[in-house]
Amino acid sequence: MKFKLFKNTWIKIFALILGFLLWLHVATEKTYNHEINLPISDIVLKDNLSLASEIPDSITVVVNATGKQLLRKKWRSRGLRINASQFQAGRQNLTLSINNTFLTISEDEITLDKIISPTSLQIYIDKKLDKKIKVITDLTTFPDPNYAVDKITAPIPDEITITGPRMLIRKIDSIKTEHRLLTGLRNDITLNLPLVPPKGSHIFIEPDSVTINISVVPVKTKLFESIPVVIYNSPSDKTFNVEPSSIKLELTGSPGEIDRISSDIITASIDYLQIDSNNFAPIKVVCPPRFIVKNQSNKQAKILIKE
How far apart, in Å, are the Cα atoms of 13 and each of 18, 20, 36?
9, 11, 36
Query: Domain spanning 8-118: which CATH class is it, in words?
Result: mainly beta
From CA 277, how far away is CA 100, in angstroms rounded?
81
The total number of residues written for the chain in this structure? 307
Q: Is the per-residue pLDDT at 307 higher than 80? A: no
Confidence of residue 15 (pLDDT cuts 50, 70, 90): low
pLDDT at 253 over 90: no
pLDDT band for position 49 (cuts 50, 70, 90): very high
pLDDT at 125: 95
pLDDT average, residue stretch 238-254: 91
Q: Is the pLDDT of residue 282 over 70?
A: yes
pTM of this prediction exceeds 0.85: no
pLDDT range class, residue 8, cuts 50, 70, 90:
low
In the chain, which segments carry CATH 2.170.120.40? Answer: 128-217
| Sheet of 284-286, strand order | 284-286, 267-271, 220-232, 246-253, 292-296
Domain 220-305 part of CATH 2.170.120.30: yes
pLDDT of 136 higher than 90: yes
128-217: what fold?
Answer: RNA Polymerase Alpha Subunit; Chain A, domain 2 (2.170.120)
Pinpoint the residues of the chain covered by CATH 2.170.120.30: 220-305
Whether residue 302 contacts residue 262, with contact meaning beta carbons closer than 8 Å, is answered with no
- pLDDT reported for residue 290: 79
User: How far is the C-alpha of 135 from the C-alpha of 157, rounded, in Å?
Assistant: 8
